[in-house]
Chains A and B, each alone.
Chain A
Amino acid sequence: MSQPIPIEISTQYTDVALIGNPNTGKTSIFNALTGLRQKVGNYPGVTVEKKTGTILGPNGEQIRLHDLPGLYSLTPKSMDEEIAREVLLGDSDQELDIRLIVVVADAANLNRNLYLVTQVIDLGIPIIVALNMMDSAKSEGVDIDVEALSDRLDVPVVPVIASRQYGLDHLHQTMFAQVKAPKTRKEAGTLTLDASVNDPLTPVIDWLGEHTHLTASAQTAEALRVVSSDLALESWRNGHYPEACKNDLEVAIQTTRNHLEEKEIPWRMLEAKLRYEQIDDLYEHTVRENPAAAQNLSIRLDRVFTHRIAGPMIVLALFALIFQTVFSWAEGPMDAIEGGVGAIGEYVVTQMPGGMLQSLIVDGIIAGVGAVLVFLPQILFLFFFLALIEDTGYMARVAFLMDRLMKSLGLSGRSVIPLLSSFACAIPGIMATRTIASWKDRLVTIMIAPLMSCSARLPVYILMIGAFIPDTPVLGVFSMAGVTLLAMYLLGITGAIGAALVFKWFFMPDAPSTTFIMELPPYRRPSLRWVFLQMYERAKVFITDAGQIILAISIVLWFLASYPQSEDYDTTAARDRIQQSYAGQLGHFIEPAIAPLGFDWKLGIGLITSFAAREVLVSTLATIYNVEEADETSVDLRVALQNETDPVTGESVYTPLVAVSLMVFFVFACQCMATVAIVKRETNSWRWPIIMILYMTTMAYVASFVVYQGGRFFGFG
């Protein structure tokens, strides 16, 4: 469900937060600990994904583990970090009472990971450090004295290799032991501050002491954080405090900054400077690096994968291969689902009396469920590859290679994989935008993804090209048909570029320019378990969240195509039924509006019914023209379209110009209820899917108008 998961306040549960830097294997640990006992939803009011799982203890006690978004620090720079901060600081709408924090650190990259670890320790909540990827650290010559690290940090440190299930039992035991009898640290915080820094912080510490429930060490750390950067102040400003109270905080911060300036201590990012000084010291005493260890494998792999010529070619070749594989793998299951749904429908027809109820069940509900299920093979197979690309670390390389191109659209390299995926199907493409950290970038990517020509447009293109575009050679090697098809793809891309620019600069002029400071994680062997979980999770989200909307729209479309019911329903031919239906009437009604595009009312019916999915246009036209068992390659349907003449003038209704105009319409129009449903799910509101329908339909109308009227002006058709 897209609604927030209700938080039941229950004494049986202990709420535990799982946090860590991105690329530390945090999600692998979450999956290993919770198995399939997970719930995925959104945090209330925002689009940050909320994952919660249950862990059972030895005596039946339960931990509710909350997988917080990956973050580098508690200074909020994105929606993800803001949410994680709210949950951990307990000052939030999230209503969670976190009793224990498990912070995951990458052993091979410990120095930087210790930044978040020490920040979290300073919150004063019981904590366990899970030191993951001990094997990578070892092979890279990083030797960590775990006991010394645990002593110096004064918290339990559990070495783990999540990919090999090593150390997870120990982590599990430590978690329940910590929940039962939390270990308190000897000293409150990790930060040892000189009086020269500590004294000036007093006014801010006092404010936090008065207005929050933070522990003493958390007050000091948070005071240093708000003084160091205005970003942390911003999040207090957005909190539920009276205006006067917020002003007090600002005054306190300014007083502190002035004091520090008097002592010639630069306050900007002071927290980072002080922490890293202490981290470097800690690291030196607990970690030995052997520089003679094997040369970094990732550097060698990147000589090929991010090579200036080979790199981009590999990206294109890989995606060509993925599309080919997804299409060939998905074809069988999709046919089977369509066949199965059809067979169930036919069985129901034999088992119950005809009439509207039968029609509702067969053509409305069963067909609607089929419309949801038929997307599953493509989603599953595409996510199989996307999860592999992400888990190996290659996704960051694609972003690195393509960032410069995307920057000119105001986006970053992170948008490349969702957009490329959308050439297969916009639904997994839109679901893949989760890896984009910036919300504005993510939104623009979601909005333009459906302009990539997806596989559902192919039947429409193939029918129209087959019927009206001659196969004449162009420049010797190409054919007119092939060139037309290519033109449709390029038109979609061009439209997406234009739309991205308009969205970025017209709708979001105040958006900060995108940063692209992104870690390039080491290449890792992918975990098939993680890959399959990822596929399962995406499929589940699609069926439960988008499925309801798709089913509801299917029933509305069925209603439009079936009512008003004629008296002799069963004896009326399907062709006449659809012409007399509301959909048929709507077709007539919109005919004046679509006539300038070259469309008659029959195509109007097709435009209405194909809101379900683009390829439905083909079956609707087949029904209208009374062609049995037609698909896009059906000769009968092509001939029927070619022979259609205007009863008054006797001229052909469909000319090659009308065919091109219709194809152009389908390049831009948002004719896919599943896309609308998934955009609603991913943006957590109806606002963006409605804007999407409006802008894409407008674009489609204008483009078709220009094509048809321009074509007529220049004497085509």
Chain B
Amino acid sequence: MFKKHQITQTPIPMLPLDELKPGDKATICLIQGTTVEEALLMEMGLLPGTAVELIKRAPLGDPLELRVRRYHLSIRRSEAHAILVKILPDPSTINQ
């Protein structure tokens, strides 16, 4: 387990959204992808700074179910791969 001061000092690395584990909460940093994907995602409210949670993966590992802005969204791994996020520190870890 990290100690509190380590978390605040270590810069949190960015990773593609599809590498989150179910239950992970993260903040979106960057959206790439094709013009259509980019437009669809951003208009559905996935923007830099938006909080997102990975709820689950479909039986064959693809697509993914996300929760964003109080609603649920299904998105393929390839599409999720083009979204870079930072994992929010788990509050229970911070409090230790």
Contact = CB atoms under 8 A, between A and B. Distances in A.
A112 B65 contact: no
A112 to B, nearest CB: 5
Contact of B58 (A231, A268, A400): A400
Contacts of B71: 109, 112, 519-521
- Chain B, interface size category, equals 20 to 34
Contact of A231 (B36, B41, B50): B36
Interface in B42-75: 42-45, 47-48, 50, 55-56, 58-63, 65, 69-75
A107 B38 CA distance: 26
A521 B71 CA distance: 7
Contacts of A240: none
B39 to A, nearest CB: 5
Given A517-B75, A520-B74, A72 B35 contact: no
A405 interface: yes
Given A111-B69, A404-B60, A515-B79, A268 B44 contact: no
B72 to A, nearest CB: 4
Contacts of A72: 40, 43-44
A73 interface: yes
Given A403-B62, A512-B34, A517-B79, A272 B43 contact: yes
B24 to A, nearest CB: 16
Contacts of A288: none
B76 interface: yes
Nearest to B31: A269
Contact of A399 (B34, B35, B74): B74
Interface string A517-546: 111111000000000000000000000000
B59 A403 contact: no
Given A404-B61, A404-B63, A407-B62, A73 B43 contact: yes
Contact of B72 (A115, A276, A517, A520): A520
A519 B79 contact: no
Nearest to B73: A519
A298 B45 contact: no
A80 to B, nearest CB: 13
Contacts of B36: 77, 231, 512, 515
Interface residues of A, number: 45
B59 A401 contact: yes
A180 interface: no
B54 to A, nearest CB: 13
Interface stretch (A159-167, A305-313, A494-502, A686-694): A305-313
A299 B55 contact: yes
Nearest to A116: B43
A396 B74 CA distance: 9
Contacts of A407: 62, 76
B61 A229 contact: no
Contacts of A413: 63
A142 B71 CA distance: 13
A75 interface: yes
B75 A516 contact: yes
A273 interface: yes
Nearest to A273: B47
B62 A75 contact: no
Contacts of A512: 34, 36
B37 interface: yes
A517 B44 contact: yes
B56 A306 contact: yes
Contacts of A517: 37, 40-41, 44, 73-76, 79
B75 A404 contact: no
A75 B44 contact: no
A72 B61 CA distance: 27
A33 B21 CA distance: 45
B84 to A, nearest CB: 15
Nearest to B48: A273
Given A77-B39, A111-B69, A231-B36, A276 B45 contact: yes
A481 to B, nearest CB: 34
7 contacts: A77-B39, A302-B56, A396-B74, A400-B74, A403-B62, A516-B76, A518-B75
| Ranked 4 nearest A-B pairs via Cβ | A404-B60, A272-B42, A520-B72, A308-B59
Interface of B: 31, 34-45, 47-48, 50, 55-56, 58-63, 65, 69-76, 79
Given A269-B31, A404-B61, 9 more contacts: A112-B44, A306-B56, A403-B58, A404-B63, A407-B76, A515-B37, A517-B73, A517-B75, A519-B73
Interface of A: 72-73, 75, 77, 108-109, 111-112, 115, 142, 229-231, 268-269, 272-273, 276, 289, 298-299, 302, 306, 308-309, 311-312, 396, 399-401, 403-405, 407, 413, 512, 515-522
